[in-house]
Amino acid sequence: MAEVLLPLDDEELKRPPRETPSSSIMTSLGIVEGEVLLHLEEYGSTALRHLIGELEWPAPIVTMALGALIRQGLVVALQYELETLIEPRRSLPQPKESADQLHDVRHRSVAR
């Protein structure tokens, strides 16, 4: 039996599309990234298993947020025996523009 596709009638064309009320996963990841950074700032180096247990988010969301933080260079994951340790990066990378702006501000204040 062949499938027949019918065009939309006038009433269907006027109806707005249905949207499901759900939050974006990007919002959740951003929130978890912030919670991870706060946890590391307060407690320092933490085992991945412990971090997942401490945060009230599903493990896949926490690991995705950690992956994003690692790609951004804000945290480092180190394998130690059977555990993965999450540590804050010692020196945060600075964007080149802000470093140049800081350099300009210092020179202007010294010249005065």
As for how many domains the chain has, the answer is 1
Question: Is position 63 within any domain?
Answer: yes
Question: Is position 100 within any domain?
Answer: yes
> 50 with 31: CB under 8 angstroms?
no
* 78, HSE (Cβ side, Cα atoms, 13 Å): 10
Q: Residue 109: pLDDT above 50?
A: no
The helix (run of H) or strand (run of E) holding residue 46 is strand 46-47
Greater confidence (86 vs 25) lies with: 86
Give me the phi and psi of 51, to 5 degrees please. Answer: -60, -45
CA–CA dist 62, 88 (Å, integer):
15
Q: Residue 16: pLDDT above 90?
A: no
Question: Is position 14 within any domain?
Answer: no
Q: What's the domain range around 99?
A: 25-107
How high is the pLDDT of residue 38? 94
pLDDT tens, position by position, 47-106:
999 999 999 999 999 999 999 999 999 999 999 888 999 999 875 445 555 555 545 544
Greater confidence (21 vs 40) lies with: 40
